Amino acid sequence: MKISELSYQRNAADLFSWVADEPWSMFLDSGYPDIDKGRYDFIVSRPAITLETYGDTTYINDNNSKTTSTADPLLLLQQYLGNSNNNLSGLPFCGGAVGYLAYDLGRRLETLPASAVKDIDMPEMAVGIYDWSLIVDHHLRRTWLSSFGRFEKTALIWQELQDLFAKPATKNTNEFFVTSDIKSNLSRAQYGLAFDSVKKYIHDGDCYQVNLSQRFSADFVGDSWAAYRRLRTLNPAPFAAYLNLPAGAVLSSSPERFLSVTGNQVETKPIKGTMRRSVFAYEDKALAACLLENEKDRAENLMIVDLLRNDISKSCDAGSVVVPQLFALETYATVHHLVSTIAGRLQKGKHALDLLRGCFPGGSVTGAPKLRAMEIIEELEPHRRSVYCGSIIRIGFDGDMDSNICIRTLIQYADKIYFNAGGGIVWDSQVDAEYKECFAKAEAMLTLLKR
């Protein structure tokens, strides 16, 4: 391994700005200093290998040799990650895979109908294999450039990378503009009809919960990185990310961890249950207390806890799956959330991607039972979800993984910007409350685009 320490910068976004314009540059953002528990930020760029999946075909760019494959995308990703290396540095993620798995990659794992319109032509999987990572540790206030040294080119550009990230920050003068009204793909009346359909499916015994969302869009010009920098101040989040890809950009301010693997320890932290915040401290405290005591939200959360316990059990040792925390309150810039924690021990011989396969897409953004909920989502939502409700992942060459659920996430594609907001519908749900919840979750993104 190769490790070089660089000078610490409190705002890692300033470091990323040096590569923000380069395709395949990615910034995994912990939300520090606005999120107390935010610790590590990661920056990667200039991948050795890229994999992009469209439909049945994955396009692989391996050192300027371009090939295609119809093999399972997750198996291809595991193949290009190669055998796991021991990480003796004590640092997390010194290189490996970073990218996203779109919600619609689920079509390679399950048989689903195809009725929703696909109008965002982003890959179902876009992942780079990176031989180096810039790690910013905000607790120790230290920064390292790190690499497992799997590719010869890394040693040749090592000094160049050190010099690049040692440069002093400059003011970002780029701008972005929204040049149209923000439109939803579901009117209030259309949302009500979709809501009623979900309630009928629940009544008929098809499902217990369905995550129903609406999609917002607007015309967009300018710099998506400038838009992300603004978003991270409006809605700092512990699993945020900015991904600059050839097809478009992903701007995520997600508060939700999907799956993490550290050694053989597995964790998932589903969010179910949301309450708006208030600018008045006494009312905000009362709203949080109301969420903690809300029987409907607790039942909704428990359904997804049961689903995820079952999902992670496919790859964990028998008897190791536990729920150390139920219904914890987490508070963010615009909402309060109910969050539960589920943990387990990865089976010997299993890879983090085996765990991911057994759980994807996340149950908190589909419903229960998962497959039937996904079929209903396809029927009732007018457009495919694309990256929304998929997952941004990092998997190290040491086998460790962390990932988010792509909620509070915008997609900049061509001359438009898109984002979804939704929530889980259960038998006790009320249509007006659920419709308002969509806008509570969308508040930061609506504010970003309106400004």
- Domain map (residue ranges) of the chain: 2-172+181-450
User: Alpha carbon of 58 to those of 1, 47, 389: distances in Å?
Assistant: 30, 16, 21
pLDDT at residue 401, as a whole number: 98
- Rounded to the nearest 10°, the torsion over CA 276, 279, 280, 286 is 20
Residue 408 and residue 445 in contact, taking contact as beta carbons nearer than 8 Å: yes
Amino acid making up residue 427: W
Q: Is 77 helix (H, G, I), strand (E, B) or coil?
A: helix
Whether 63 has a pLDDT exceeding 80, the answer reads no
Tell which residue, 427, 413, 424, 341, has the closest CA to residue 383: 413
Whether 36 has a pLDDT exceeding 80, the answer reads no
Residue 345 and residue 265 in contact, taking contact as beta carbons nearer than 8 Å: yes
**pLDDT, mean of residues 235-251:** 97
Residue 268 and residue 277 in contact, taking contact as beta carbons nearer than 8 Å: no
Whether 172 has a pLDDT exceeding 80, the answer reads no
User: Alpha carbon of 321 to those of 71, 232, 301: distances in Å?
Assistant: 31, 34, 17
Q: What is the pLDDT of residues 119-139, one digit of tens each?
A: 999 999 999 999 999 999 999
User: 280 pLDDT band (50/70/90 cuts)?
Assistant: very high
pLDDT at residue 330, as a whole number: 93
User: 233 pLDDT band (50/70/90 cuts)?
Assistant: very high
End-to-end CA distance of the chain: 45
Report the half-sphere exposure of 216 (CA within 13 A, side-chain side).
Answer: 25
pLDDT at residue 170, as a whole number: 79
Assess whether 379 carries a catalytic annotation.
no
Whole-number percent of the chain with pLDDT over 70 = 100
**pLDDT, mean of residues 314-339:** 95
Residue 309 and residue 342 in contact, taking contact as beta carbons nearer than 8 Å: yes
> Angle 244-374-238 (CA atoms, 0-180°, nearest 5)?
40
Out of 52, 124, 269, 272, pick the active-site residue: 272
- What's phi and psi for 410, nearest 5 deg? -105, 150
Task: Give dist(CA 361, CA 384) in Å, integer.
Answer: 14
Strands 125-130 and 265-268: unpaired
Mean pLDDT for the chain? 95
* Structure tokens, 120: 């965002």
Task: Give dist(CA 421, CA 443) in Å, integer.
Answer: 10
**pLDDT, mean of residues 42-62:** 97
Assess whether 152 carries a catalytic annotation.
no
**pLDDT, mean of residues 107-119:** 93
Q: What is the pLDDT of residues 82-100, one digit of tens each?
A: 998 888 889 999 999 999 9
E strand residue ranges, 168-223:
176-178, 183-184, 209-222
**How would you class 113 by CB atoms within 10 Å of its CB: exposed for 0-12, middle for 13-18, buried for 19 or more?**
exposed
pLDDT at residue 37, as a whole number: 76
Query: The domain 2-172+181-450 belongs to what CATH superfamily?
Result: Anthranilate synthase (3.60.120.10)
Residue 98 and residue 26 in contact, taking contact as beta carbons nearer than 8 Å: yes
Task: Give dist(CA 277, CA 269) in Å, integer.
Answer: 21
Whether 174 has a pLDDT exceeding 80, the answer reads yes
Tell which residue, 395, 447, 105, 433, has the closest CA to residue 300: 433
User: 32 pLDDT band (50/70/90 cuts)?
Assistant: confident
User: For 156-178, b where at least 16 C-beta lie within 10 A, e where not — what string?
Assistant: eebeebeebbeeeeeeeeeebeb
Out of 256, 300, 375, 443, pick the active-site residue: 256
Residue 436: CB atoms within 10 Å: 13
Whether 183 has a pLDDT exceeding 80, the answer reads yes
